[in-house]
Structure 1
Amino acid sequence: MKRVASLRVLALLLVLTGAVSACATGTDAVVQGGTFEFVTPGGKTEIFYDPPSERGTIGNISGPDLMVDGKTTSLSDFAGQPVVVNLWGQWCGPCRGEADDLETVFENTKDLGVAFLGINVRDPQRDKAQDFVTDNHVSYPSVWDPSMRTLTALGGKFPTSVIPSTLVLDREHRVAAVFLKALLAEDLQPVVERVAREQ
């Protein structure tokens, strides 16, 4: 009986470790008719789409604003701006690790017109996710999406098991880069600056 209980605990820990860690992989996406469609991951954690004419667009991410009751926050709020979209959860250790780096890049690229949009996933307790934002001094908005419904805007093929994930969108909201890992400011900022300066 003890051994069965131990095996169950071990199995649960393995599942949680897989869900929480940013250890998943990525391969590539394809563009079909101008639509971004992610293909099954296969090893890469940084994926870039160039030239811009070959990038695909995603649908409009939209949902309840995490911090403001009754407000809807949408990708379309940032028309004509490059947008960094970050998928995160307060339960995710790597998300805590990258929060200050994301905030640094946000502050450093605001003058280039760059916007940031978080998507808070798998957090059924809104107050805990709000505490994460407050404790980590995150100043950009997030959509509260415990059920991950907003991710249908990513075509339904994006690897939703990889949290955190970050997408860099150009001014037409085409996907310029995907990161399937926790980020440091020095990883993200050069990419964001390059995309923001594209004509």
Structure 2
Amino acid sequence: MSACRALRRHPSRRRTTVLAAGAALAALTLTACGSGKDTSGGGGQTQFVQGTGGVDVAKDRAGRRDAPELSGKTIDGKQLDVAQEYKGKIVVLNVWGSWCSPCRAEAKNLVTVANDYKDKGVEFVGLDTRDPDPAPAQAFEKEFKVPYPSLYDSSGKLLLRFPKGSLNPQSIPSTVFIDRDGKIAARAMKALSEEELRKTLDPLVAEK
């Protein structure tokens, strides 16, 4: 009875608790159950479909959302502004961590395709997250002979810049494909094979 009375006296507190629980449940559902099927987000402003190999792609060029500003220090301590440095280029942004087993599994595929597509106007950029300091990430890149830079984003602040409802990275590893106009064209929330990378990149390379 006393508990019921307490709830009656503080209806706003009860409402806040229920709303918080609902928000937490929604977040868990989004994290665990991304379907990749015909989906829309952000009030239906962005629509995308599941492409070959489970890579989500924007339905058409007009529906692509702008990529956020991605700038900061790399794991080597250098400054990098992706939009400025790679203006007019296709950018493949790979979210990874040195502690992540699937990231290690796909590293050689990313390196191979990055080298193969360098002359096709494609630039790769890593986004290292949840590494407490850059040293393990540096060792990772040395081990796999990674030829491209990686932004250091241990706290995940850069990941939060992606617009809600867009083809934003929601897992580790994730890979986001940004077209020549700086718009998000595709996304994968898994480790990618060479074939999957090439099949996603070829249509973007062919765009005029």
Alignment partners' CA distance in 1, 2:100 and 2:54: 17
Q: In the superposition, relative to structure 1, how do residues 178 and 111 fare at CA in structure 2: closer, same or farther (>3 Å)?
A: same
Aligned to 2:101: 93
Aligned to 1:125: 133
Alignment partners' CA distance in 1, 2:40 and 2:138: 32
Partner of 1:196, secondary structure, is helix
Aligned to 1:74: 81
Residue of 167, 177, 187 corresponding to 2:186: 177
Aligned to 2:64: 55
Higher relative contact order (CA 8 A, sep 6+): 1
CA positional deviation for 1:36 = 6.5
Aligned to 2:145: 137
CA positional deviation for 1:185 = 0.5
Alignment partners' CA distance in 1, 2:183 and 2:42: 10
1:26, 1:180 within 8 Å by CA — same for their partners in 2?
no
Aligned-residue identity in percent: 33
Task: List gaps (5 residues or longer) in structure 2.
Answer: 1-31
TM-score (norm: length of structure 1): 0.76
Normalized per residue, which structure has more helix?
2
CA offset digits 1:116-144 (Å, max 9, x no partner): 11100000121111000000111101001
1:119, 1:143 within 8 Å by CA — same for their partners in 2?
yes
1:26, 1:45 within 8 Å by CA — same for their partners in 2?
no
Task: List gaps (5 residues or longer) in structure 1.
Answer: 1-22, 39-43
Alignment partners' CA distance in 1, 2:150 and 2:129: 10
TM-score (norm: length of structure 2): 0.73
- Give yes or no for the alignment of 1:115 onto 2:118: no
Structure number with bigger Rg: 2
1:82, 1:170 within 8 Å by CA — same for their partners in 2?
yes
